[in-house]
Structure 1
């Protein structure tokens, strides 16, 4: 026995007469759809009947169980992060008062671009010390050359020459040290030599990237150890996945990872594992697996975002159906088998009478078949049929939820 959809069309004629005016007639056509089913044996499960027109209208497609190569995987959660070489914590080489900030948070900066300017008396003092050291070096150099000449003529003892040489070498080291300090602060020693002293210095970005944090403000006094900015390069963002002990033996470098953001699960990205941790995290008892995002050009991927990933570990050819063909009801899963309705001469006469009354005899009859599911990949799921498919039947590959809805509706009406 089966259930099917009956369509009844009726015409309602409404006549309205107001006072002595002429009567107006309005015709209204409505279509009403209801579900009817034949009576069967008590406890017997009823099939679902649909016409070909109904199937075409809702897009129901039929097909066969097919063997497809599906990849098995391990589910793992984690977050986006940056390797240390793509993060820069920026501080000043000298103490100073913040006079001007040249960037804003989130701004892209180039390597060497100015971030902030600092002023402090110690900046001028260092330049003065450099000039004084150069003057002392000039005197020591002349004395060294003079003592060297006197030693060659045996006029002085070697010890006196050695003292002059030591003084000269020491002055050279002092000038070199002060010149390096000036260069680290962004001051060119050659500029100082000609007497052009700077009262402020600028802190610059050591890399291309985006300004992630700004931890200073105008007028603040900063120390050399104080963190001023953080710049990050998101082009080399990676995933850090937490993999449990039972799964870690299956994970290897080079495996592909499919992942999506927890905040946007509909979009999938790809990554490749390049490093597997060698120790367990104390809190979670998991091993961290690092994966590089393939061709990352997504500005929406930011460090700290949470992700849900699937590490593809193996591939096998198995019987499979599209994900949408499988219906789940609690712990049970099933698919629908579709069989063409057969009609005897008696049933044809009944169908002709039903069609005359507005009922549509079904072209297809649908029955449930329980399944067990396995791995899922690229929109397909491995299935094992718990019962054989009726001879000459096909499986619903698209539109199974519509058939299930009709079945549930019919069961509700029946009860």
Structure 2
């Protein structure tokens, strides 16, 4: 009886082993031309089906650069005379309008300048009157030419001095009419030359600034653009109005569109690059900040073709294959089909032998796992 029980137990074990082997072979049965996958394995491995689709396969030139604004959209605020900062209420990031008060400066020299102007202005009335009198007398041969010429010289010299001082006051935003009325101030105001955002504040209250000191910087980002650098070997491929696809890798994975607007005409001898100016699509509503680093692809030749996702194509022994669905009953039966590969992008592979895949379902996820496991 012990022998009989032992034999029966052995038969049960062998039976279970054969059953397990049959189940595995159904799920992963693979040979040279056909691969069969069970429905449970298809679902558990997150496999998926797809078809040929039309995709763009463009020839591109790689470029790097940054976000910038035109020179007319960037302004440095400086004073024409040195002075001390009396008031600067703005911070980096503040929005300002054109003509808005930015900074107030104070300096005793402002008072001296206005005094000189007022003195010259008051003298001008007398010298003009004397010149006109001498001119009349000279024409009537009552006075000498010497007296006439001296009066003319004094008047015109004073007039030139007056006009020069008047322009200096205007440059300092001091109204000459107020000075002529006796209103003299020890302070001057600096106003925003353009609308935009404050990007630099280089002073604080009480700071002394010279005429060359940059007090503030204003940038208007209503019209931002790309400043790209392209290597010399690629420059002959670049033309105006070519499309640009670019990313800001440190901030986003999104791709944005632009267009080549200007191509530089001289090469930087230090790194053998040339500058490309690109206009960004819908730049007024873009989220960019000036100075952002960008990676760009300039599309020099556009084409399209039938393609499969890269995950659908596996490279085995130097050749490319995909799995084409033959039937779907209890599981999925695929035929291993060779792919004639054309151009490639990051996500897609162009298929040249489209007749083998047209209107057919192809495994788009899990292909390499099945084919490499079956070799």
Asked whether the two chains share a fold, i.e. TM above 0.5, the reply is yes
- Verify: 1:389 aligned to 2:356, yes or no: yes
- Verify: 1:257 aligned to 2:244, yes or no: yes
CA offset at residue 284 of structure 1?
A: 2.8
Contact conserved, 1:98 with 1:219, CA < 8 A, in 2?
yes
Show CA shifts across 1:13-65 (max 9, x none): xxxxxxxxxxxxxxxxxxxxx982259999857624244995799583332x4
CA RMSD of aligned residues (A): 3.5
Show CA shifts across 1:264-317 (max 9, x none): 442121111111122222343222211011221346311221111111222234
Contact conserved, 2:35 with 2:370, CA < 8 A, in 1?
no
- Verify: 1:303 aligned to 2:290, yes or no: yes
Q: How many residues align?
A: 354
Taking a change above 3 Å as real, the CA distance of residues 62 and 73 of structure 1, as seen in their structure-2 partners, is: same
Show CA shifts across 1:318-354 (max 9, x none): 332356645679998654322226xxxxxxxxxxxxx
Contact conserved, 2:245 with 2:258, CA < 8 A, in 1?
yes
Distance in 2 between residues matched to 1:115 and 1:201, nearest whole Å: 11
| Correspondence for 1:61 among 49, 61, 68 | 49
Contact conserved, 2:309 with 2:348, CA < 8 A, in 1?
yes
Which residue pairs with 2:229 in the alignment? 242
TM-score, normalised via structure 2 length: 0.82
TM-score, normalised via structure 1 length: 0.75
Relative to its length, the structure with more strand (as a share) is 1
Relative to its length, the structure with more helix (as a share) is 2
Which residue pairs with 2:10 in the alignment? none
Matches within 5 A, 1:93-108: 93-108=80-95
Taking a change above 3 Å as real, the CA distance of residues 41 and 339 of structure 1, as seen in their structure-2 partners, is: closer
CA offset at residue 66 of structure 1?
A: 5.2
Matches within 5 A, 1:2-401: 36-37=24-25, 44=32, 47-51=35-39, 54=42, 60-63=48-51, 65=52, 70-298=57-285, 300-322=287-309, 325-326=312-313, 334-340=321-327, 361-365=330-334, 367=336, 369-370=338-339, 372-376=341-345, 381-384=349-352, 389=356, 394-396=360-362, 400-401=364-365
CA offset at residue 383 of structure 1?
A: 3.3
Distance in 2 between residues matched to 1:207 and 1:339, nearest whole Å: 68
CA offset at residue 73 of structure 1?
A: 2.2
